[in-house]
Amino acid sequence: MSPKDITRRRLMEIGIKVMGGFISATSAFPIIGFITAPSLKQEEDKWIDVGAINDFPPGTYIKGVMESQVKDGWYITKERALCWIKVDGDKIVAVSATCSHLGCNVYWDEASKNFKCPCHAGVYDSEGKVIKGPPPRALDRLQVKVEGERILVNSIPVPYGEGKNV
């Protein structure tokens, strides 16, 4: 096609197609970013103070309360979750109190040395593994660290058997 063959109409068509392609490309980037960004975002560790190490007598599970603030846009609310903490010498174990079946709160039965779910008769051993009932998997473990005389628990659960320091 020689320059003499290009009419005004053809030049306008090419110009409109180029502008349309540019507009489509520039609007596609934010849309693609909006769709893919949540999958690329990693959850941030949130260490929560559950009490002094002296508040947890050795050898048995004691209920710990994890309270933190959650910011959603401009709305700030308090989030509260429960965990079970056992101190055995230098080893500290934290287990989520949320049943893996339907999210009920499990309790520690000192007599049988098991965690029990009051809703659907789920039973877990002292490590959080399922013994009987409908729960599909073990209780989640929580990472623990000690700073000074305070016990800090990471609010992001680690499935049983995975990760370090659980």
Three-class HEC string of 146-164: EECCEEEEECCCECCCCCC
Helix (H, G, I), strand (E, B) or coil at 14: helix
Query: Does the pLDDT value for residue 6 go beyond 60?
Result: yes
pTM metric for this prediction:
0.64
59, containing H or E segment: none
Pair of tokens at residue 14: 């090419």
Residue-wise pLDDT tens digits, 19-70: 999 998 888 888 888 787 777 666 666 788 888 888 888 888 888 888 777 7
Residue-wise pLDDT tens digits, 113-163: 888 888 888 888 877 788 887 888 888 888 888 888 888 888 776 655 554
15 against 128, higher pLDDT: 15
Burial zone of 106 (CB within 10 Å; 0-12 exposed, 13-18 middle, 19+ buried):
buried
